[in-house]
Structures are given as structure tokens and as C-alpha cells.
Structure 1
Amino acid sequence: MLSAYVMKGRFQAVAAATVFALLSLVLPPLTILSSAIVALVTLRKGRTEGFIVVAIAAIAGVVLGEFSAGVPYYAVTYFLIQWLPIWLAATLLRETGSPLKAISFLAFLGAAAIVLFYLFVDSPAEEWTAILKTVLEPIVEMGSEVEQGVLLENLEVVSHYMSGIVVMSSLASLALALFLGRWWQANLYNPGGFGQELLALRMPKNIAIFTLVVIVFSLLGLGFLSELAGNVALPMLVLYLIAGVSVLHLMLSASKARRFLLMGMYLMLFIIPHILPPIILVGFADTWLDLRKYIRVENNS
């Protein structure tokens, strides 16, 4: 088992984190495993050991990246975007015992990154448009003139919210990595503990009010301010997606067919994006209504 291997020692943890980070160049989802390894080490052995593993892995990544893929700075970027945030979140989780505080920290960290990006970049939308056109140029050239026009028009719209989309995706990846690291820790040292923490996730009213205010500003048509608010709202909504999933998981756990239903729910999360808004609304509703008190579970899943 990967988690048991990582816990054997520092070398094993560094090797696993580095290898999965480099492999994520080819298969991006492996980013979650690399970050989860950092989370596990930090949760179990403390922030000092966790940072040592991150630092050595970053140095190893620079060296291996140069000789194997010609991308020496990939490890530095990885350190700043993945390993450092997950180390901070895992440290907070270890010291407070609160997954809610850890993921909220990640969300506000992402929101702060968006604000800084908008403060220091003259026209974020134009920057993203240029990047998207470069990345999607082969696809654009394959279409007819009409299709190219429609695609470019859509790129112009999406570019205004790419900052939020990128941070939202990173937050989702980091949250999954943090939960995976916590699950590994529970399986190794406290069986059943992770499930109790996950099912108790409920967002506080102050964060809900902040999120709603940001959403309102994004809809007011205030130009730069509304665009910034719209981007900041996206990572905040991830918190309510997680809270909604927690409520639905508990609700489905009350069913005799809970294994089938839970499997179906998590599968749909990845293949049917249209179900995400209703789940987010469940997360918001739980903040005010405490939906868990209406759910009776005979055997927790």
C-alpha cells in the first residue's frame, strides 16, 4: 500500500512525492497523489518533517526535471502551487483537528492569489485570451471559419473567469489530496476516524455571508470589480460543493442500498457537471438549516 510505503521513512516519502509529481506531467491527476503524500507525512510526523520532505522533493524534482524532461523549473512551480499550500493546510489540520478550517484556509488563499493577480496584471482577461489561443490553436485551425469564430468568441467570454477557474481547479485538487492524506492516516492509525470528520463538514455562516456578498458583487455589472468578484466566488463555491457532498453522503448512508447509491453519486460528480450547482445549493442550505439533524443513519458508511 502506498501510504504504508511512504511512512517507512523520509527517503520513501521524498521518492514517492517526486516521482508522482514528474509523472503528473503526463497524467495530471497524479498531482493528487503527490500532494497527498506531503499531507500524510505532515499530518503524521509534523510540520518540520513535512517541510523537509517538500524541500528535498523540490530539489530532486529540479534535478530530475532537467535531465529527464528538460523542465527544471517545473518542480519550483509545483512547490509553490501544490506542495507549499498542501503542507500549510495539513499543518493547520494537524494542529486544529478541523478539516473545515484547513479547506477554508485553502479557499481564502486561492481568493487572495486571484486578488493579487488582478492587482499586478493590467488586463488578466487579455493575458488568458492569449494563453488560450496559443494552447487551442491546433483545434481552432481544424474548424471552419464559422466554428473558429464561435470558438474564439467563447474564449473571449471564458478568459474573463479563467483566473477563478484555474484556482478553483487547484483548490479541488488540493482538497482531494488533503482528504486522501487524512484517509490514509486514519486507515493506518485511526480506522473510521476520517468518515466521522468528512460527514461533519458544515460551513459557518460568516463564510456563507462573505460568499453571497461576493456573488452579488459579481452580478452588479461593475466592470473590473464584478469580474474580480466573479473569479473570487469560484473557489469559495468549492467549499459548498464539499459541504453538499458531505450532507448527501450522510443522507445516502441511511439507505440499505448505500454502497450502490454512494458509488453512483461520486461517479456522477466526475462525469455529469450539471449536478454540481444543486449540490452547492445543498451545501449553502446546510449552513442555515443544519440538514443533518433531519437525517437518521443506522450504520454510518
Structure 2
Amino acid sequence: MLPLARWVMRGTPHATGAAAAAALVPWLFWLSAAIAALVTLRRGLAPALPVIIAAALPTGWWWMRGDAIPLASLLLVTLMAVVLRARMRWSETLIVATLVAAVMIQIGVFLPPGGAGPLLDTLRQSSPEVGRMLDDLAARGVDTQRMAALLIGGVTGLIVTLASVACLALARSWQAGLYNPGGFRSEFHTLRLGSRELLMLLAIAVVGGLLTWPALAIMSWVPLLVSGVALIHGLIGLKGMNGLWLVAFYALLLTTWPMILIVLLLGLIDTFADFRGRLARSQ
């Protein structure tokens, strides 16, 4: 896809047209967001505004039709690109994305039109067992509509955040391929949460519990997951292992919960152990 990125960076009209066209096509919003992020990373927010607006108009139309994911992804990716350009630290960028995505979940950005009520009514009609379970929860004092809203918003918010991180990584790899070959590989392979960032994530989760904002706790593990993925990439790169190991890793990560927990744990331990630093020194 590097030729596409090269064509996009030929000028603002190219980037604007490509971002708008990709945003119009269903399920190509990620490409539009990546193009906006590439221009933002390379030129800054002000020069990238025409591209961002061109992408926001079609995604805004999708939002008016009940799909908030394209517009939310565009805004989140653009925000992360601004932070990464200014701070040059993936860890801080991920924490900012976590906070913004948690706010989106909490205010109900990802809920379908009409909220969770129509969905619960559909579930009750389609499955008597689910209806009895919901009635039992309601009898115990559980607000089923609030629980369903949190579940729908939380799952959607997680997917949007992870997809936005992937879009930013794609834009960063384009930028490196065009202007700094090999730069993204070394940058991502060294991504690691420091003790300060880990304390910030812990504070976010605690504040979420105190304020009864469960979305903060739901999202607080995303930077750890990305850090764990970067650790695996870094270790495979340092050992010079075949790329098929990465294919197998992602296959397990996308299909098994235990693998996700292992990666989270590795990302947490790496904050203190620095596996890549130890391996590099031993070599």
C-alpha cells in the first residue's frame, strides 16, 4: 500500500479526494482514517484539516444514519496522530486514546439509535430463555438496560480503539516507508510502558471505580495489550525468527482468550523486567 501513500502525499487535493472516497465506501473508513493520520503525522494538524474535514463529511453522514463507528474512528485516530507527532511516545498516545474512548463509551456514542431498549425487546422475543434471564436479573435489582448499554458500548469501544491503533500504526509505517525506511519497525519494537504510565493506567481504573465509570476500567488494559504485542514483535525481531511466528501469534491472539491474557501479563511484567533490553545486552 506504499504506492497509495506516495500518491496521497503528492498534494492536499490527492489526500483530500482519497480520504473522502474511502470514507464513502462501507468498511473502508479505516483507510480514510489512516490517510488523515498520515497527513497529520507528516504535516501537522492545521495543514491536515482539509483532509480531516473531507473524511469527516462522509463519516458524519454515516453517523446520521446510525453508524457512529467511522466518525469515532476518524476522530480518535486523528487525535492519536496529533499526540504522537507532538510527544513522540506511543505509551502516552495510547493512554490518551484510552481516556477519549472511555468517555465515548460512557456517554453512549456507540449505542444504536433508541439505546439498548429495542435490542433487549428483540432478545426477549427471539429467545424465551434470555427473556427469563433478563427478568430474573431485573428482579434482583439489576438495571438490565444499563448493563446492556455498557456491554454494547464497551465491546464496540474496544474494537474501535484497537482498530484506531492499527490505523495509526499503518499511517506511521507509511510515513516511515516514505521518509524514514525502517523507522517504524524499530519504534514499534521498542514500545514499552514505563512505571509512570502503568501508575497512570492504575489511577484511571481506580477513578473509574470511584466515579462509577466502568468504561475507564474496561479501556485501561488496552495500552498493556498493545505493549505486549510490541514485546512479541520485538523479541521475534531480536531473535531473527521467521515471520510465520507472527502469523501464528496473531492467529492465536484473535481466536483464544488465554492468549490475550498471556499478552496482557507479558506487557505488565515487561514494565519492570525489560525483556528486550536484557536480550539485546545478552546478544
Residue by residue over 1:147-197, the C-alpha shift from the partner in whole angstroms, topping out at 9 and shown as x without a partner, is 543478699455444444333222212111111100011111211100111
Alpha-carbon RMSD: 3.6
What residue is the counterpart of 2:99 in the other structure?
A: 108
Structure 1 residue aligned with 2:72: 81
> What 5-or-longer segments of structure 2 have no aligned partner?
none
Structure 1 position 206 matched with structure 2 position 196 = yes
Alpha-carbon distance in structure 1 between the residues aligned to 2:248 and 2:277: 24
| CA–CA separation in structure 2 for the residues paired with 1:89 and 1:43 | 9
1:185–1:59: structure 2 CA closer, same or farther, 3 Å change rule?
A: same
Post-superposition CA distance 1:199-257 (Å, at most 9, x none): 11111223312333454677xxx7xx4742x3202222110000011111222334454
User: Are the aligned partners of 1:132 and 1:155 in contact in 2 as well (CA < 8 Å)?
Assistant: no
The equivalent residue for 2:90 is: 99
Instruction: Say if 1:104 and 1:227 are closer, same or farther in 2 by CA, change over 3 A.
Output: same
Q: Structure 1 regions of 5+ residues with no counterpart? A: 66-70
Relative to structure 1, the CA distance from residue 165 to residue 72 in structure 2 (aligned partners, 3 Å threshold; closer, same or farther) is: closer
SS at match of 1:49: helix
One-letter amino acid matched to 2:274: D
Contact 1:161 1:227 in 2 (8 A): no
SS state of the match for residue 201, structure 1? coil
Asked if 1:149 corresponds to 2:132, the answer is yes
How many correspondences in the alignment? 273
Q: Distance in 2 between matches of 1:98 and 1:75?
A: 34
TM-score, structure 2 normalization? 0.79
Q: Secondary structure of the equivalent of 2:221?
A: helix
Q: Tell me the CA shift for residue 137 of structure 1.
A: 5.8
Match of 1:46 among 44, 47, 52: 44
Using the TM superposition, give the Cα deviation of residue 3 of structure 1 relative to its aligned residue in structure 2, in angstroms. Answer: 1.4
Indicate the percent of aligned positions where both proteins have the same amino acid. 25
SS across alignment from 1:40: helix
8 Å contact 1:50–1:87 — kept in the other structure?
A: no
Task: Give the aligned residue type for 1:35.
Answer: A
> What is the CA–CA distance in structure 2 between the aligned matches of 1:11 and 1:297, rounded to whole Å?
48
Residue of 3, 6, 29 corresponding to 1:4: 6
